[in-house]
Structures are given as C-alpha cells and as structure tokens.
C-alpha cells in the first residue's frame, strides 16, 4: 500500500501491469542499471551515436575541416558509379568467400588432430594456438619476407619440389591468397572452440555406430559433422564479420600505401582499406560515411541471410541430449 | 594364476598384425599429421627469426639459406637504434596498461549487473549487448574519428582534441567489451546465489557484495580478461594508425612500418624488430597458457 501511495502522483499507476514494480524490483532495477551503466553509456556514445552520425555524414560533403554541406544521396549515386568501390567490394567478397570456408576446414582439421589421444597433445595445442594471439601486423610483415619469390621460404620449398613459384605479392591473382594464408594463422583459436565441441559429443553415439559397422568417414559425416553445425555456424558468422573488416594485413602487404596503389591492380584494396583511403588520405569523410553505411547494411543482410540459411542445416538436437 | 601366466604370452603374440596396425593408426599416424601441421604453423616464425639473424646480403640472397651462415645478433641492436624503439615500446606499454585497467574495471562491473542482480528486462538488454559482437567495428570508424576530433583533451599530451592523444585508444576500454562481458557473466553465473543472499542478510550493499564477496571469487576470470585485453591492445594496428599523427607518440605497431617506408628495405632488421615485438606475447602465453585456453572455451562453447 505504501508503495502504491507513493507512486499515485505519477502516470505509471495508470498502467499497473508493466511499470508498477515492487520495492525490491525497483531497487534491483536501479542497481542493475548502475552496474551496467558503463556499457550503456559506451553503447550510446561509441555505438548508437556514431551510427546515426554516419548516416547523417553520408548525406553530406565533408572534409573534416569545414562544415558539412548537405548533398542528399549524391554520395550513394557516386559510389554506384565508382569503379574503385566495385573493385573494393569484389576484393572483399573474394577474400571472404575464400577465407571463411578455408578457415572452417582448417579449424576442423586441427581440432580433429588435437582430439587424438597422443600423450604430448598439449604441446601441439599450444603451437597451433600461439600464432592466433600474435599481432597481425607483425605476422603480415613476416609474410612479406616469407612469401617473397626470391628469398622467401615458401617459394624455395615449392621450387625444390619442382612446383611453380608464384609471385604472391606481385601477381594480382595471388595477393588475396596471401591474405587468406595470413588469416589461417588465427585458425588455432577456432580449432580450440571446435575441439570443445568435439569433446561434447557423447561417445555412446560413436560406439553404437561402430557396432553397426560404420567406418571413420561414415562416423564423421553422420555424427561429428551434424553435431558440430552450431559451432560451425558460430565460426561462419564471426568469420564473415571479420572477413568484411580485413584491413591490417592488406595494408601492410601493400607496403602501407607507400607505393601508391593498394597492391598490383588494386588487388589488395579491401573495403575497409578503401574507406580508410577515402576518409583519412583523401579527406572524403562524407563519401567514406556512405561507404560505411553500405558496409553496415551489407553486414546485417549477410548475417541475416546466413542465419536463415542455417535453419536448413544446423542441428540443435544435441543440446537436450 | 597359472592360467593367466600361460594365457598372456599367447594373447600377446597372436594378433601382432593388429597390434601393429593399432600403433600405426593410434600413435604414429596422428603424430605424423600433428607434427606436419606444427611445422606449417611454425614455418613463418622460423623464417622471421632466421631472417633476423642474417646479414643484409644473405637476407636477400637467392636461393635463400635455411640456416644463417653467420649469426648476426648485432641486428637486434641495429633494429633498436634504427627507430626510437624504446620510446615506441613505452608508448605501447602505456596504451596496453591503460586499456587493460579499463577492461578489467568496466567488464567486471557490467557483468555483475548482468548476472548477480535480477532486474526486469535484464536478459533482453544482455542479448542486445551480445548482438553488438557481430557488428563490424569499421562501420563507425569515420564518425568516431570526427567525434573524437571535437572532444576536448584538456591539455592531455598537448592535443587540442582527442586526436593525436592516447585517449581514443584507452578511454573506450572503460566502457566494456561485449565479448569480455559475456565471458565474465558466464563465470559469475556459476557462483552460488546463496553467497549474495547471505551478504545481503548481513546488511551489505550491492557495491559491498560486489567488492568483498564476488570480485575475490572471480580472480581467474579477471586474469583471463586482463590478459586478453592486454594482448589485444598490444596487437592493435588500425586505431593507432588513425589517431596518432606525431612520430613521438607511435606505438611499436606503427613504428615497425618505418622499416619499409625507406627506399631499400632492411628486411633483416624488420624481422629482428618483429621478433622483439612478438616476444612479449609469447612469454605471456607461456606463463599464462591456461588462462588463454579458459577464455576460449568459456567464450566459445556457446555463441
């Protein structure tokens, strides 16, 4: 009663079901909001506000120095006609289409290898995992040397096997492959996630399959793969998001933009690299904001499409088991 | 007893073929594959260290030598003197320590609010928080840069705005990171509810419960977050590239680029500097391996 009396002067009492919280609930709500307030403020200031601001900037001509001038959808018509925009979109798409499936396969192979009952498996686990926490910028510099056709180890190895030795960073057909290779050094992290998934599969399933005479391949296709689909989906979603963001490795493989173009035939001009160029090298903040909006929308659409597509193949039955 | 004594040698000798096959499939073959994978993963780093010990002529010789002819340890000293390595290392360290303190403070507080207090709408807000993991950060790069260029720095590092100061690299860490929040919340959910209830009965406020009861119990998770945040800050490249515009403020990540911006690239020195930058991360990993693995498995089991 005391609570009701205290709140009579507010409009909330008119809608008792939702807003008339008990004393403890209200106390908890204010404490809860107090504790999460750093995130709440950060979400508004570093998340919502910049996104709204990006939408606004995308409708202006803005160099960062003078005031923004409203120009409607000009930036969007401009990007639709900009061959470099399509180049950057193609490069990023090609990269993502290669890097995500290869990443899933490599992580799965590593996880299966790590799941073998070998005594010193923790050593292998450490070796696979360690590269994934090393700085990508340093790894990229290492790959400039590692993949060099003249004094790199990779081409020395390929030519000693009698295989052709590609000019990884000079031939536009191979530059994306170089980025994909660099990304694979991060596979150890995903392999551990996959390994946790593998360990979660009940052994009885394999035992009864063996009784039915199933071989290793059959067990993998009929048991391991279906039960791993939630983890694979998780990898694809995060991999997709990271794939669209790829920047550091491309930037460093091109020599940090010191050689003008982003790699031979702009073959390393990833989408974020393009945004970076437009905003921070050419002072086209408005245009770069429009590019950011496109990235935002495409990421949302792609994530949505993957989730929808996943309904057909992700197996959630194991969770109750 | 007698029967087993007799039976054993027979059992041991009879299926030698099968035992041999078993050793092959369970011990030799997996090891072969594992070692092969390891060699592939180690190869780039082997090349980094080997190249860092070669002379300039040898580093660019064709065909390359797999082991340096003469081990030039001098390269490490030359690399440190080629760029202001000490200054850049200090800058990297300041940014790393700042961002780590921010991550530890904010994410423990936030996770407490998402796990130890039952408030209406909590789970929905938490889903929004986790969903932001999927948004590509570069989307807000342009707008954030412009916002930071308008925020006053109050004279910190002599900047007129946040641009060209460490603030954009450190301050956002104090506002939480959805991945770390998720990790810490997972951990805090595992602490029995009765502990908080007992503290409340004893008249402890929510802050006191957080500080005296829950926080001491979350030390392993705090360590995980501290280590992951420190490594992430040390490894960051894009943000310092954008926000820092003066030579003397660069961290090592940006300083490394100076080895290639000259006309002829000193690859052996570049590799020596890379080795020095990678080394602290390797050392931290060796010392705190289990915390890394914990972070992955807690964070990864359920997306």
Q: In the prediction, which pLDDT does A170 show? A: 87
How far apart CA A55 and CA B249 sit, in angstroms, is 32
Spatial distance between the Cα atoms of A224 and A316, rounded to a whole number of angstroms: 13
Per residue in A136-163, pLDDT tens? 999 999 999 999 888 899 999 999 999 9
Which of A186-195, B133-142, B260-269, B275-284 has the weakest average pLDDT?
Answer: B260-269
- A residues 233-292 lying closer than 8 A (beta carbon) to B: 233-234, 237-238, 241, 244-245, 247-248, 251-252, 255-256, 258, 272, 275-276, 279-280, 285, 288-289, 292
Residue B250: which residues within 8 A CB-CB, separation 6 or more? B88, B91, B240, B244
Which residues of chain B lie closer than 8 angstroms to A231, CB-CB? 300, 303
pLDDT of residue B30: 86
Where does residue B94 rank: exposed (0-12), middle (13-18), buried (19+ CB within 10 A)? middle
Q: Which one of A19, A24, A32 would you mutate to disrupt binding with B, by most B Cβ within 10 Å of its Cβ?
A: A32
Rounded CA-CA distance A8/B221 in Å is 45
From chain B, pick out residues whose CB is under 8 angstroms from the CB of A34: 113, 206
**Phi-psi category of B158—alpha, beta or left, where left has phi over 0 and alpha has psi -120 to 50?**
left
pLDDT tens sequence across A271-298: 999 999 999 989 999 999 999 999 999 9
B131/B182 Cα distance (integer angstroms) = 11
* Per-residue pLDDT, A7: 42
For A104-129, the pLDDT digits (tens) are 999 999 999 888 888 888 899 999 99
Which residue in A138, A198, A219, A272 has the most chain B C-beta atoms within 10 A of its own C-beta, making it the best mutation to test that interface?
A138
Dump pLDDT digits (tens) for A68-77.
999 999 999 9
Write out chain A in H/E/C secondary structure: CHHHHHHCCCHHHHCHHHHCCCHHHHHHHHHHHHHHHHHHHHHHHHHHHHHHHHHHHCCEECCCCCCCEECCCHHHHHHHCCHHHHHHHHHHHHHHHHHHHHHHHHHHHHHHHHCCCCCCHHHHHHHHHHHHHCCHHHHHHHHHHHCCCCCCHHHHHHHHCCCCCCCCCCCCCCHHHHHHHHHHCCHHHHHHHHHHHHHCCCHHHHHHHHHCCCCHHHHHHHHHHHHHHHHHHHHHHHHHHHHHHCCHHHHHHCCCCCCCCCCHHHCCCCHHHHHHHHHHHCCCHHHHHHHHHHHHHHHHHHHHHHHHHHCCCCCCHHHCC
Nearest by CB: A136 against B63, B128, B237: B237
User: Is residue B299 very low, low, confident or very high in pLDDT (cuts 50, 70, 90)?
Assistant: low
Question: In this structure, are residues B185 and B123 in contact, taking their beta carbons and an 8 Å threshold?
Answer: no
The confidence score (pLDDT) of residue B297 equals 67
- Tell me what the pLDDT averaged over chain B comes to: 87
- For every residue of chain B, DSSP letters joined together read -HHHHHHHHHHHHTTHHHHHHHHIIIIIHHHHHHHHHHHHHHHHHHHHHHHHTS-HHHHT-SSPPSS-SS--THHHHHHHHHTTHHHHHHHHHHHHHHHHHHHHHHHHHHHHHHHTS--TTHHHHHHHHHHGGGS-GGGGHHHHHHHHTTSB-TTGGG-SBSTTSSHHHHGGGGG--HHHHHHHHHHHHTS-HHHHHHHHHTT--HHHIIIIIIHHHTHHHHHHHHHHHHHHHHH--HHHHHH--SGGG--HHHHTTHHHHSSS--HHHHHHHHHHHHHHHHHHHHHTHHHHHHHHHHHHH--
Chain B residues within 8 A of A79 when measuring between CB atoms: none
User: Is B38 in contact with A121 (CB distance < 8 Å)?
Assistant: no
Average pLDDT, integer, range A21-39: 91
Residue predicted with more confidence, B246 or B299: B246
Q: What is the per-residue pLDDT for A65?
A: 84
Q: Is the model's pLDDT at B53 over the cut of 90?
A: yes
Size of interface A-B (CB pairs under 8 A): 288
**pLDDT of A222 over the 70 cut:** yes
Is the CB of A134 less than 8 angstroms away from the CB of B63? no
Radius of gyration of chain B (CA): 27
Q: What is the pLDDT of residues B80-100, one digit of tens each?
A: 998 899 999 999 999 999 999
- pLDDT tens figures, B91-127: 999 999 999 999 999 999 999 999 999 999 999 999 9
Average pLDDT estimate for B275-289: 94
Quote the pLDDT of residue B260. 75
Q: Which of A12-16, A89-93, B30-34 has the lowest mean pLDDT?
A: A12-16
Mean pLDDT on A35-55: 95
What's the pLDDT score for residue B250? Answer: 95
Please tell me the predicted confidence (pLDDT) of residue B267. Answer: 86
Residue B132 distance to chain A (closest CA, Å): 9
Say if the Cβ atoms of A42 and B46 lie within 8 Å.
no
Phi first, then psi: give them for residue B230, nearest 5 degrees.
-65, -45
User: Does A145 contact B114 at a Cβ distance shorter than 8 Å?
Assistant: no
C-alpha A113 chain-centroid distance: 25
Q: Grade residue A317 by pLDDT with cuts at 50, 70 and 90.
A: low
The pLDDT > 90 percentage for chain A reads 64
Averaged pLDDT for residues A91-110:
95
From chain B, pick out residues whose CB is under 8 angstroms from the CB of A196: 296-297, 300-301
Whether A249 shows a pLDDT value over 60: the answer reads yes
Whether residue B240 contacts residue B255, with contact meaning beta carbons closer than 8 Å, is answered with no
Tell me if A21 and B61 make a contact (CB, 8 A cut-off).
Answer: no
Q: Å from B245 to nearest chain A CA?
A: 11
Q: Nearest to residue A134, comparing CAs of B276, B152, B267, B194?
A: B276
Residue of B nearest to A118 (CA): B27
- Interchain pair B113, A150: CB under 8 A: no
Closest CA to A236 of A47, A130, A101: A101
A115 to chain B: nearest residue by CA?
B30
Q: Mutate which of A43, A62, A145 to disrupt the B interface (most B C-beta within 10 Å)?
A: A145
Q: Which residue of A has its CA nearest to B253?
A: A137
Does pLDDT of B6 surpass 60? no
Which phi and psi (to 5°) does residue A118 adopt?
Answer: -115, 135
Confidence of residue B261 (pLDDT cuts 50, 70, 90): low
B292 to chain A: which residues are within 8 Å by CB? Answer: 129, 133
Question: Cis (ω within 30 of 0) for the bond into B63?
Answer: yes
Question: B46, A280: Cβ pair inside 8 Å?
Answer: no
Q: Which of B24, B138, B225, B256 to mutate to test the interface with A (most CBs of A within 10 A)?
A: B138
Query: What is the model's pLDDT at position A19?
Result: 59
Q: What span, in angstroms and rounded, lies between the C-alpha atoms of B50 and B257? A: 20
pLDDT bracket for residue B262 (50, 70, 90)? low
A216 touches chain B (CB under 8 A): no
Over 50: is that where the pLDDT of B4 sits?
A: no
Predicted pLDDT at A86: 97
Residue A284 gets the label, from left (phi > 0), alpha (psi -120 to 50) or beta, of beta
**Which chain A residues are closer than 8 Å to B144 by Cβ?**
46, 50
For residue B174, the chain A residue with the least C-alpha distance is A38
Exposure string of B113-132, with b = 16+ CB inside 10 Å and e = fewer, is: bbbbbebeebeebbeebeeb
pLDDT digits (tens, 9 = 90+) for A155-193: 999 999 999 889 998 888 899 999 999 999 999 989 998
Residue B291 has pLDDT above 90, yes or no: no
Best mutation target among A141, A217, A286 (most B Cβ atoms within 10 Å) is A141
- Judged by CB atoms closer than 8 Å, whether chains meet at A156 and B293 is answered as no
CA distances from A225 to A96, A97, A231, A232 (A): 22, 21, 10, 9
| A189·B296 Cβ contact <8 A | yes
Instruction: Tell which A residues from 147 to 176 touch B, by Cβ distance under 8 Å.
Output: 150-154, 156, 159
- Beta-carbon contacts of residue A309 (< 8 Å; ≥ 6 apart): none
What's the confidence (pLDDT) of residue A10?
44
Per the model's pLDDT, the better-predicted residue between B166 and A20 turns out to be B166
Q: Is the pLDDT of residue A320 over 90?
A: no
Q: How far is CA B167 from the centre of its chain?
A: 21
């Amino acid at each position: 009663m005391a609570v009701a009396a205290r709140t009579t002067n507010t409009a909330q009492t008119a809608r008792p079901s939702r807003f008339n919280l008990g004393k403890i609930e209200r106390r908890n709500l204010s404490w809860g909001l107090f504790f999460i307030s750093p995130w709440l403020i950060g979400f508004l200031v570093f998340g919502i506000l910049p996104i709204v601001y990006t939408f606004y900037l995308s409708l202006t001509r803005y160099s960062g120095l003078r005031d923004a001038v409203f120009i409607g959808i000009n930036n969007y018509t401009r990007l639709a006609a900009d061959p470099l925009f399509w180049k950057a979109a193609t490069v990023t798409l090609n990269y993502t289409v290669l890097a995500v499936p290869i990443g899933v396969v490599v992580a799965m192979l590593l996880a299966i290898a790590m799941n073998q009952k070998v005594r010193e498996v923790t050593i292998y686990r450490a070796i696979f995992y360690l590269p994934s926490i090393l700085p990508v910028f340093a790894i990229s510099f290492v790959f400039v040397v590692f993949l060099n056709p003249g004094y790199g180890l990779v081409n020395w190895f390929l030519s000693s096997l009698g295989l052709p030795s590609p000019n990884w960073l000079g031939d536009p057909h191979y530059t994306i492959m170089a980025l994909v290779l660099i990304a694979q050094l991060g596979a150890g992290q995903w392999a551990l996630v996959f390994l946790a998934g593998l360990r979660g599969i009940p052994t009885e399933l394999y035992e009864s399959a063996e009784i039915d005479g199933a071989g290793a391949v059959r067990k993998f296709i009929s048991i391991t793969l279906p039960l791993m689909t939630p983890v694979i989906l998780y990898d694809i979603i995060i991999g997709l998001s990271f794939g669209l963001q790829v920047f550091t490795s491309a930037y460093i493989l091109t020599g940090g933009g010191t050689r003008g173009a982003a790699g031979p035939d702009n073959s390393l001009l990833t989408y974020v690299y393009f945004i970076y160029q437009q905003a921070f090298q050419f002072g086209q903040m408005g245009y770069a904001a429009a590019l950011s909006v496109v990235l935002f929308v495409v990421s949302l659409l792609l994530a949505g499409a993957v989730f929808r597509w996943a309904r057909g193949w992700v197996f959630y039955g194991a969770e109750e088991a | 007893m007698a029967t087993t004594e007799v039976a054993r040698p027979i059992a041991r000798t009879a299926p030698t073929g099968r035992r041999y096959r078993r050793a092959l499939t369970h011990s030799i073959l997996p090891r072969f594959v594992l070692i092969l994978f390891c060699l592939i993963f180690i190869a780039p780093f082997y090349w980094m260290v080997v190249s860092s010990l070669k002379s300039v002529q040898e580093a660019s010789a064709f065909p390359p030598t797999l082991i340096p002819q003469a081990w030039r340890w001098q390269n490490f000293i030359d690399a440190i003197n080629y760029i202001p390595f000490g200054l850049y290392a200090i800058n990297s360290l300041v940014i790393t320590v700042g961002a780590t303190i921010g991550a530890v403070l904010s994410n423990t507080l936030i996770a407490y609010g998402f796990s130890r207090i039952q408030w209406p709408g909590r789970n929905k807000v938490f889903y929004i928080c986790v969903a932001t993991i999927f948004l590509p950060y570069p989307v807000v790069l342009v707008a954030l840069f412009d916002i930071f260029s308008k925020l006053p720095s109050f004279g910190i590092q002599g900047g007129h705005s946040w641009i060209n100061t460490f603030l954009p690299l450190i301050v956002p860490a104090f506002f939480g990171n959805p991945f770390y929040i998720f990790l810490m919340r997972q951990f805090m959910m595992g602490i029995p509810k009765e502990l908080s209830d007992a503290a409340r009965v004893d008249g402890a406020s929510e802050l006191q419960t957080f500080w005296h009861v829950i926080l001491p119990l979350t030390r392993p998770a705090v360590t995980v977050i501290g280590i992951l945040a420190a490594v992430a800050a040390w490894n960051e490249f894009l943000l310092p590239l954008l926000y820092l515009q003066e030579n003397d403020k660069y961290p090592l990540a940006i300083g490394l680029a100076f080895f290639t911006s000259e006309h002829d690239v000193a690859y052996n020195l570049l590799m020596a500097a890379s080795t020095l930058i990678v080394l602290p991360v390797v050392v931290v990993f060796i010392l705190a391996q289990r915390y890394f693995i914990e972070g992955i498995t807690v964070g990864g089991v359920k997306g």
